[in-house]
Amino acid sequence: MRTLKISLLVFILSITISAQWYWQNPLPQGHRLNDVDFVDQNTGWAVGEYGTILRTDDGGNNWTANSNLNLGNLGNISFYDSNLGLINGSDGYEGFILKTTNGGTDWNVSYSGVMYGLGKIDFVTEDIVWTVGYGGIILKSTDSGNNWIIIPSGTTRILGGISFIDENIGTVVGSYGTILKTTNGGNSWLSQTSGTTGDLHDVWFVNENKGFILGESGTTPLILRTTDAGITWLVQSYGIGNSFSEITFIDSSNGRIIGFNQYTDTGLFMKTTNGGINWSFNTLPYELRGFSFTDLNTGTAVGLYGKILRTTNGGTN
């Protein structure tokens, strides 16, 4: 009887040890995705909670986990080309920056010294990169993200969006309607009047004069537009309960905006074909946080529960 009990115990332990669990739904994983970046129609990366990094080489048909890092929440990603890429993240206490030079096979981490997370990443050239964050922090790298220097901004507001049109001219946006502009590569920053006290999340300049900012005032999403390099901003409000996440322009006429409804967990997609004078509006079934378009028709959006949406007709479907 004693021998039988021992044999039974060994059998149960062997089953327990050999048993494995596999993630099955949704695929490839279920953590929230915050941002996505494609360098061409086939090659792209998505990042999100719990250190999630995904890569696709077939236009998003299949995604594979690209890292075993578990540093914390990954918020923003930007690739200069198929090899060089940067990711901003936070471990809940301090922001960090991940860098790869081999397409995401390996990632090197450096801590920014900034409390909490960092905002958008903007490659101006292969060497010159900018990012922003809490406490009015502006960081600049002149060696592709290996080293970062703190640039005085003159504000302690939370900064989240940044857009440079060349090595000298750039705009940064943040909380309480903050807009800062530099024309000398960040040596000095001039505050601009936004016309709102709402929080501003993202900014995109089509050229030196025409730019757009996304934000919200309470539960009302805002689009700010300038045609005079930020001297004046026209504030437009859209709907109730929506939050705009990201804006991009494929060319001077065609722009895209992604966002979500904070009450229904649904997504929204806005599109302009006349340089931002008018925007069309689509509701999507999932809350979306980031997107990437490689041409007028091909785009990928990511969001809550690991959802990944793909369009090949400019966002109609």
- pLDDT at residue 17 greater than cutoff 60: no
Section 140-161 average pLDDT: 94
Cβ-based neighbour number of residue 183 at 10 Å:
15
Peptide bond into 28 cis (omega under 30): yes
116 Ramachandran zone, left/alpha/beta (phi>0; psi -120 to 50): left
Of residues 282, 283, 284, 302, the one with CA closest to residue 292: 302
**Encoded tokens for 239:** 């709907």
Mean of the per-residue pLDDT values of the chain: 90
- Which region among 1-5, 29-33, 162-166 has the lowest average model confidence (pLDDT)? 1-5
Q: Which of helix, strand or coil describes residue 278? A: coil
Section 219-234 average pLDDT: 95
Q: What is the DSSP letter of 15?
A: H
Report the alpha-carbon distance of residue 176 to residue 165 in Å, rounded. Answer: 24
Distances (CA, A) of 213 to 70, 71, 245: 32, 30, 11
- pLDDT at residue 57 greater than cutoff 80: yes
Q: Which residues of 194-229 are buried (b: 16+ CB within 10 A; e: fewer)?
A: bebebbbbbbbbbeeebbbbbbbeeebbbbbbbbeb
Look at residue 178 in the predicted model and tell me its pLDDT.
Answer: 97
pLDDT tens digit sequence for 233-266: 999 988 767 789 999 999 999 999 999 987 888 9
Q: What angle do CA 106, 107, 111 make, to 5 degrees?
A: 165
Cβ-based neighbour number of residue 28 at 10 Å:
15
* pTM given for the model: 0.90
The domain 30-311 having CATH identifier 1.10.150.120: the answer here is no
Report the alpha-carbon distance of residue 202 to residue 171 in Å, rounded. Answer: 10
Dihedral in degrees, nearest 10, Cα atoms 112, 31, 302, 285: -140
**112 compared with 123, residue with greater pLDDT:** 123
Q: What is the DSSP letter of 56?
A: E
Distances (CA, A) of 200 to 160, 161, 178: 7, 8, 7
Domain boundaries, the chain: 30-311
pLDDT tens digit sequence for 153-196: 999 999 999 999 999 999 999 999 999 999 999 999 999 999 99
